[in-house]
Structure 1
């Protein structure tokens, strides 16, 4: 597959990605290389990655605990200190080997350590391959508020090797599929049609699906790298999805929700809002709901929690001048941004989701 070139980075695929990596490492003359992993990718992915490196380099490994709950400044502080103790200087390289938490957090650490060192993302989850590792967004959560601290700065390269997906449990694969569905909904009706029927997809189709999804995201990001306008499309499902995810993160008595599971709920609710204040049809809403729930189990959200979740919307990063902004659909494959929605309709969106049989 041809590499996908973005503004300041390149995404490589399959075996070609390691050729690109080894060429880069042999010419870049880094003083030290550090690989950031979590306890899962250390066990299941590191040996595969190390077997692909050609040449002798001074390589260190830093491991953090897996999970969104560890995507915070405290973890960053621990890694910053570890980098300093290892003698990492401004000519060093950080390689982030992991899912969305590792690529988001690792990218932020690299961008801020000694005011910026080079980094490479090697996503090992479907979610990170199609979303988190592409586009230069880095950052961490502030308490239960998602991605509130961060910078936009692209990695030297992104390496996508679907061999790592063999290590993933099914719920993690589904979590990534939410972002693939999102790309079809906001940008490409034909792509949505292709990915909507998983029963027709073969394993070898996964590489093409990921490639096409990255193309969609990259085309948007290249036109609007700092999210001033159309990059906001990529937040479809995330206004309510992030609020739900944040609420569940801080209520351990609730079911654990992966990012994609929360975004799937958000996409259904925001599709409902699209029928109320935009031009999405009821038939399209039913189609979206059916397709999403064919992959994601419906979650019971206690009506007593609606208000607390809605109150979290004020912290959404898209907000301006005190307004809560949504990305909504005109139709499947066409979105619009900076949409305001009356609060009573947001409550109705929760009721719609609850009413689904």
Structure 2
């Protein structure tokens, strides 16, 4: 697969990954190499990665963080910053983030702020990180249960996508990443959406091409609007309500936390319903979207008392402006509209439709 050039970095795939990493290390000559993993990638991914790493006699240190969204915090960042300092990392050090979206988000933030910035490389090991989290330069951590409230946009030097790491993923994490791929189709390419939504009829060998196409879509959008002033906002389709749902389930002891993609899938169904009322999305297309998503993602019971709290979470959404909650909605599949408003009654109506 041909490498994809982003605004300030480059994305390499499969056969090119380790040779390009080796070339980068030879040319940049980092003083030390640090590898950030979580509990799972330490066990399942690190041995393979180290066997392929040509470090040119450079000292390599491994740092491990706990796995899971609830550890995507400033406290964990502090631990990583302190470890970097203890191991005498300097401004010529290189941080390699080997993991899913939590590792790439947090690791990118740590690298971008340690000594005002050191080089970093993302090596995504989950489907979600390959198609979304590791590409585009968004780094950061959560503030309590509020998603991605602290962070900066800062691209690493490279993204290295080796799809063989997907063999280490449990099925629910594969499905979680699939949600972001569906989103790319809904906001950008109807044909891509139709290919994905009929994925059960396709050969699994086609997954690499679908991942590649998803990265192309995201890069096409991000490269035109790196700071999210306009077009890049479309990537937030499903995320206004999806993030609120994810935060609510993460912070409620009575609920089982949802994976990011599971929450975003619900958000996309809800925001597609809003689209029929606000942007003229046809009933036929809404039905196709709802059925296409729900044949893969099981419905989650969201009661009325849950809905009220979830709506209250919307006031913390990063897309808000001047006290207004802004949604990305759809005029049709492949044609999004940014900065849309929907009142609480309409949102409750969307929940009623989802539960029906």
Give the TM-score of the pair, scaled to structure 1. Answer: 0.99
CA distance in 2, matches of 1:82, 1:10: 28
Contact kept, 8 Å, 2:147 with 2:243, in 1: the verdict is yes
Secondary structure of 1:151's aligned partner: coil
| Alignment size in residue pairs | 355
Question: Partner residue of 2:299?
Answer: 298
Deviations 1:15-57 (A, max 9, x none): 2111111000111111110000000000000011111112332
Question: Partner residue of 2:249?
Answer: 248
Deviation for aligned residue 1:203? 1.8
Question: Partner residue of 2:148?
Answer: 147
CA distance in 1, matches of 2:140, 2:257: 22
Question: Partner residue of 2:27?
Answer: 27
Question: Partner residue of 1:42?
Answer: 42
Question: Partner residue of 2:95?
Answer: 94
- Unpaired runs of at least 5, structure 1: none
Deviations 1:243-280 (A, max 9, x none): 00000010122022000000000000000000001121
CA distance in 2, matches of 1:262, 1:331: 22
Contact kept, 8 Å, 2:250 with 2:256, in 1: the verdict is no
Secondary structure of 2:204's aligned partner: coil
CA distance in 2, matches of 1:201, 1:130: 19
CA distance in 1, matches of 2:132, 2:303: 30
- Describe how 1:187-336 pairs up with structure 2 within 5 A: 187-336=188-337
Deviations 1:106-127 (A, max 9, x none): 0000000111000000000000
- Unpaired runs of at least 5, structure 2: none
Question: Partner residue of 1:351?
Answer: 352
CA distance in 2, matches of 1:252, 1:158: 36
Deviations 1:77-132 (A, max 9, x none): 01100110010011000000000000000000000011100000000000000000
CA distance in 1, matches of 2:200, 2:246: 29
Q: Is 2:169 the counterpart of 1:168?
A: yes
Question: Partner residue of 1:17?
Answer: 17
Question: Partner residue of 2:62?
Answer: 61
Question: Partner residue of 1:8?
Answer: 8
- Describe how 1:124-143 pairs up with structure 2 within 5 A: 124-143=125-144
Give the TM-score of the pair, scaled to structure 2. Answer: 0.99
CA distance in 2, matches of 1:73, 1:53: 29
Contact kept, 8 Å, 2:136 with 2:222, in 1: the verdict is yes
Secondary structure of 1:249's aligned partner: helix
CA distance in 1, matches of 2:30, 2:136: 24
Alpha-carbon RMSD across the aligned residues, in angstroms, is: 0.7
